[in-house]
Amino acid sequence: MYHFLARTPLFRVALSLIACCLLFGLVALQISQTGTARASGETVSVWLTTPDQANLLSPQPALTFGSVGSNSTTITINDTQTYQQMVGFGASLTDSSAWLIYNKMSQSQRNQLMTNLFSPTSGIGLDFLRQPMGSSDMALPAGYEGTNAPGEYTYDDMPAGQTDPNLSHFSISHDLAYIIPLLQQALQLNPNLKIMATPWTAPAWMKSNDSLQQGSLLTSDFQVYAQYFVDFIKAYQAQGVPIYAVTPQNEPENDNVMPTMPISASDETNFIANNLGPTFAQNGITTQILGYDHNWDDTSYPTTILSNSTAASYTSGIAWHCYAGNASAMSTLHNSFPNKATYETECSGGTWEGSNWPNGFQNTMELGINSARNWSRTVVRWNLALDPNGNPNLGTANSCTTCRGVVTIDQSTGNVTYNSDYYALGHFSKFVEPGAYAVASNSFGSGNIEDAAFKNPDGSDVLVVYNGGGNNTFQVEWNNEAFSYTLPAGAAVTFKWTANGSAPTPTLTSVPGSGYYYIQNLHSGLVLDDTNGSTSNGTLVQQWAESSGDANQEWIFVSAGGGYYYIMNLHSGLALDDTNGSTSNGTQVQLWAQYNGDTNQEWNFVSAGGGYYYIMNLHSGLALDDTNGSTSNGTIMQLWTQYNGNANQEWRLVAV
């Protein structure tokens, strides 16, 4: 079952904060919209990268859609057939990467690099980072270059034989030196950046062998380890770094000599079901839980997690690595669990690829295309930065000594080489916005013309094409129009266009009056209502006959960025929320204190025609729905897969 098409979100400009509105006067919204989209000679913007590096994300002369020709290599795009909603593209700011960027570059060099990595306008706009919780193998070895680097570390290390079950010694002080400052800078450059976190190991005292290498998590410490996650998320949030998602364990089937902690599928399932999920709920943690976080060659492990109803209720999706198997495994699992999200979260470049150019470029392009074509919401490489020799790394027996960063930093000069990974990621990240939908297109497979297509929240279409060595000239057909393009072997191109005559993003005009709205359902005629005028977190949202002046029924929209909004109730001041971050049909909708960056609370508006909208949740991809098509006061509202023409899911905004 596929996601809906995000054709036309409702808003593009932010409202002031509610408090400011109350203090300084309210403004109402007047929404203006033009007619429906129709293709007619659209202009296509073009960016090209060639393996000889003569073109590196270089703008090319614009193209124009014209009549459809005859070409056996034709990419046909249907942007009304939508799949998963994209979250982002990126890598990992490992301990090694952060130390190089922060300590081996001048401030001006560092600022330029960070801008090139994260700025959506002046750089490639990376918008997803996967952060190790403690050290991975890509961390400074103990005493590296005369530093006080601890080598392997967690956030609660104790002398051998000692324990800390109350986490009294928990501290993220190591990360405050250079990791968190760079994460803060990245968030400033790109407020849409999402950060997930995953541990390579629990503290040694929680493990069977009292070591950060290998060894299993003691079942007696499952609960304290769940609290360890809570403390980490709260500590990072206190530094202005919200954590979007976590996985319980990096590569749970890996027992290499480096920070590792093998955990069986049944143990991870039990940990999520009985410890991590409930502990998050008890502490008001809305960070998503993703399961597995290992290779494509094993679908049985994530199947075990999602087949357990309790674990599945806390698990938003599954994370995948690329080092064994192939990307089709993500579709295999998706077909079994279509309501669970898919994330590709690690795929390193390195000397095993044969070369940076063209091999590394090919691998990164194919990673992006194949991930997007197999339901992944993210495309993630590994180290953001390393030096020319793949350093620093822990130097243990199985630490990666042949990895390549997205960029390479010369430790002696601070000079940067932007590797093939950077440009390949940029072909996606600079043009595919958070919240875009993957849309239908045909691809000709490895060794030929390969592609992935997307629809942005602003209505623009993006097509990313890599030529794996097949026919150089291909045709792109869309809405009964087409253009042709000749692409050298081993090169990539990104096309972007917007339909002429399409409905632009609605504009907002200040007019006298209030900035609040009744949200009225087409089927029932009833309006969204704060049940019993509650001000408590967890209050379920009902529908009720509209009553003029009833603050329980009045709502305002506060920008969350990227075309999404927090829907805030006037009476309670709470936000409309996807309960427990569920991705299941039938989830009841609640009110909860608004939390920046919480995708459970972020919504966009998709035109249903006639002045009505589907109200879509960013986290789940589901639509706000009148449960069972009820016309009764007091019916609790739910989330459900969006269906065009379903009046239970169509809402209009009536100015108060």
Residues making up the chain, counted from first to last: 656
In this structure, is residue 502 part of a structural domain? no
Tell me if 432 sits within 8 A of 130, measured CB to CB: no
Please work out, in degrees rounded to the nearest 5, the angle formed at the alpha carbon of residue 101 by the alpha carbons of 98 and 106.
150
The pLDDT confidence band at residue 511, using thresholds 50, 70 and 90, is very low
Give the per-residue pLDDT at 27.
Answer: 30
pLDDT tens by residue, 518-533:
999 999 999 999 999 9
- ∠ CA 586-588-589 to the nearest 5 degrees? 130
User: What pLDDT sits at residue 563?
Assistant: 77
Mean pLDDT to the nearest integer, 266-275: 98
Of 400, 431, 462, the residue that ends a domain is 431
Local structure of residue 376 (DSSP, 8 states): B
Task: Please identify, among 399, 431, 463, the residue that sits at the C-terminal boundary of a domain.
Answer: 431
CATH of the domain at 141: 3.20.20.80
Please state the domain count of the chain: 3
Q: Kindly state whether residue 180 falls inside one of the protein's structural domains.
A: yes
The verdict on 306 and 367 lying in the same domain is yes
Distance CA 430, CA 48 (A): 13
Please check the confidence at residue 503 and state whether its pLDDT lies above 50: no
* SS3 state of residue 507: strand
Q: Looking at residue 584, what is its pLDDT? A: 83
**One domain for residues 268 and 399:** yes
pLDDT of residue 323: 98
Q: What is the DSSP letter of 355?
A: -
pLDDT mean across residues, the chain: 90
Distance CA 129, CA 193 (A): 8
Of the listed ranges 284-288, 342-346, 370-374, the least confidently predicted one is 284-288
- Average pLDDT rounded to a whole number, residues 246-260: 98
> Do residue 416 and residue 471 come from a single domain?
no
Average pLDDT for 62-68 = 97
152 is known as an active-site residue: no
For the stretch 603-636, pLDDT in tens is 989 888 878 899 999 988 889 999 988 889 999 9
Could you read off the pLDDT of 195-204 as tens digits, one per residue?
999 999 999 9
In this predicted structure, the answer to whether residue 278 has a pLDDT above a threshold of 90 is: yes
> Cα(181)–Cα(193) distance, rounded to whole angstroms?
15
| Residue 86, φ and ψ in degrees, nearest 5 | -75, 140
Q: What does the pLDDT look like over 445-472, one tens digit per residue?
A: 999 999 999 999 889 999 999 999 977 8
Check pLDDT > 80 for residue 394: yes
pLDDT at residue 44, as a whole number: 97
At 403, is the secondary structure helix, strand, or coil? strand
Position 20 pLDDT exceeds 80: no
Whole-prediction pTM value?
A: 0.75
For residue 642, pLDDT beyond 60: yes
The DSSP code sequence of 179-217 is HHHHHHHHHHH-TT-EEEEEES---GGGBTTSSSBS--B
The predicted-structure confidence for 74-105, as pLDDT tens digits, reads as follows: 999 999 899 999 999 999 999 999 999 999 99
C-alpha dihedral, 458 to 459 to 460 to 462, nearest 10°: 110
Side chain identity at 237, as an amino acid letter?
Q
Establish if 219 belongs to a structural domain. Answer: yes
Q: Does residue 180 sit in the same domain as residue 49? A: no
Contact 98, 389 (CB under 8 A): no
Q: Give the rounded distance of the alpha carbon of 12 from its chain centre.
A: 20
User: pLDDT of 289-318, one tens digit each?
Assistant: 999 999 999 999 999 999 999 999 999 999
Nearest to 192 by CA among 9, 382, 507, 435: 435
Do 309 and 388 fall into the same domain?
yes
Residue 14 maps to a domain:
no
Upstream peptide bond of 358 is cis (omega within 30 degrees of 0):
yes
Contact between 432 and 456 under an 8 Å Cβ cutoff? The reply is yes
Helix (H, G, I), strand (E, B) or coil at 79: strand
Q: Which domain holds residue 630?
A: 517-655
Retrieve residue 43's tokens: 């202009």
Catalytic-residue membership of 481: no
Residue tagged active-site, from 42, 251, 268, 433: 251
In the predicted structure, residue 127 carries a pLDDT above the cut 70 = yes
Q: According to the model, what pLDDT value does residue 414 have? A: 98
Residue 619's CATH number? 2.80.10.50
Which residue type, as a one-letter code, is found at position 87?
A: V
Q: What is the pLDDT of residue 39?
A: 53
Res 223 pLDDT > 80: yes
Task: Calculate the dihedral angle through the C-alpha atoms of 346, 349, 350, 351, rounding to the nearest 10 degrees.
Answer: 140
Q: How many CA atoms lie within 13 A of 82 on its CB side?
A: 24
Structure tokens at 2: 């596929």
Same domain, 521 and 584: yes
Mean pLDDT of 551-559: 89
Give CA–CA dist 17/560, Å, rounded: 11
DSSP, res 162: -
Q: Give yes or no for a contact between 82 and 371, defined as CB atoms under 8 angstroms apart.
A: no
Quote the CA–CA distance of 239 and 131 in Å, as a whole number.
15
In this structure, is residue 22 part of a structural domain? no
So what's the pLDDT on residue 34? 29
What does the pLDDT average to over 491-518? Answer: 62
Mean pLDDT comparison of 152-156, 511-515, 573-577, highest-scoring range: 152-156
Of 42, 152, 268, 346, which one is the catalytic site residue? 346
Residue 506 pLDDT exceeds 70: no
Residues 461 and 570 placed together within one structural domain of the fold: no
Residue 549: what pLDDT? 86
Q: What is the 3-state secondary structure (H, E, C) of 92-150?
A: ECCHHHHHHHHHCCCHHHHHHHHHHHHCCCCCCCCCEEEEEECCCCCCCCCCHHHCCCC
The percentage of the chain sitting over the pLDDT mark of 90, rounded to a whole number, equals: 78
pLDDT at 29: 32
Three-state helix/strand/coil letters over 284-339:
CCCCEEEEEEEECCCCHHHHHHHHCHHHHHHEEEEEEECCCCCCHHHHHHHHHCCC
Predicted confidence band at 140 (pLDDT cuts at 50, 70, 90)? very high
Q: How far apart are alpha carbons 388 and 393 in whole angstroms?
A: 12
Decide if 207 is inside a domain: yes
Q: Is residue 100 part of a domain?
A: yes
CA 6/CA 453 separation, integer angstroms: 13
Q: Are 276 and 407 members of one domain?
A: yes
165 plus 76 within the same structural domain: no
d(CA 644, CA 362): 38
- Residue 11 domain flag: no
Is 105 found in the same domain as 79?
no
What distance in Å separates the CA atoms of residue 441 and residue 74, rounded to the nearest whole number? 10
Q: Which of 41, 45, 43, 48 is nearest to 472 (CA)?
A: 48
CA-to-CA distance for 451 and 443, rounded, in angstroms? Answer: 6
pLDDT digit string, tens, across residues 25-51? 323 333 333 233 445 799 999 999 999
pLDDT of residue 594: 86
Look up the CATH number of the domain holding residue 444: 2.60.40.1180
Find the mean pLDDT for residues 158-172: 97
80 and 91 part of one domain: no
Percent of the chain with pLDDT over 70: 92
DSSP string, 346-389: E--EEGGGS-IIIIIHHHHHHHHHHHHTTTBSEEEEEESEE-TT
- pLDDT-based confidence at residue 17 (cuts at 50, 70, 90): very low
For the chain, the 3-state helix, strand and coil shares in percent, each to the nearest 5, are 25, 30, 45
Q: What is the 3-class SS of 221-250, one letter each residue? A: HHHHHHHHHHHHHHHHHHCCCCCCEECCCC
* The pLDDT value given to residue 36: 34
Instruction: Clarify whether residues 115 and 80 are in a common domain.
Output: no
Residue where a domain terminates, one of 431, 457, 487: 431
